[in-house]
Amino acid sequence: MAADYVSPFDERVRAAEPLAPRPASVQGQHAVLLDIRKNRGAEFLDRVETLLRAAGVSTARVTKEIFSKPAALSLIDEIASGGGLVVEALAD
């Protein structure tokens, strides 16, 4: 039956990426805070950053070009190599 039709879907099966292991504690970790440029996302990250630092976490801030486009691969690489934790501020 399936051979009679041409599917409009890309039927390739993609393996789900497993979640990275979660640390038992944030103490001593490094966190990258990603601002996707949604309205007031930076304010949210300011507060999160304050709380993380109080909990002994070092932080770095990165920003997407625009919220509506996928992050550049170079930015993803920067995040992946920059720390063990990531916090992303999504929508307003």
**What are the residues binding other proteins (CB under 8 A)?**
1-11, 13-14, 16, 18, 66-70
Residue bearing tokens 């300011």: 46
Nearer to other proteins, 44 or 67 (CB): 67
Nearer to other proteins, 30 or 38 (CB): 38
Tell me the closest approach of the beta carbon of residue 15 to other proteins, in angstroms: 9
Chain Cα centroid distance, residue 77: 11
Tell me the closest approach of the beta carbon of residue 48 to other proteins, in angstroms: 23
Distance CA 6, CA 18 (A): 32
